[in-house]
Amino acid sequence: MGMLELGDVSIDLSRRVAHHRDGRDVRSTPLEHRILETLARYGDRIVTHSALIKEVWGPHRDDSRALRVYIGSLRKKLEVDPSRSKHILTELSAGYRLVTDAGA
């Protein structure tokens, strides 16, 4: 897994680091990073809520509220306008989808 380009943020998934174009670091928690890695592995396809929870937290957890909180936190860190997300999209009643600049 390599680099993700999300607007003015570059994320190196293998090194677990992210930076704004102006050089500022973007700090993410280990769970936020696992969510991003999982979304990136699916490319531009929808990842269901249950699949995302299972891959990030494990098969014995079903906490969609925690997932929403972490997605919201990632949007605040990565999106120019978190209320109008262009990269971490919500697919209603289905899950989430990651749109990179290469896919836009």
Task: Give residue-wise pLDDT tens across range 66-93.
Answer: 999 999 999 999 998 999 999 999 999 8
Instruction: Look up the pTM and report it.
Output: 0.89
CB atoms within 10 A of CB 19: 14
- Residue 64 pLDDT level (bands cut at 50, 70, 90): confident
- φ and ψ of 32, to 5 deg: -60, -40
Q: What domains sit in the chain, N to C, each tagged with a CATH number?
A: 29-98 (1.10.10.10)
The string of DSSP codes covering 74-92 is HHHHH-SSGGG-SSEEEET
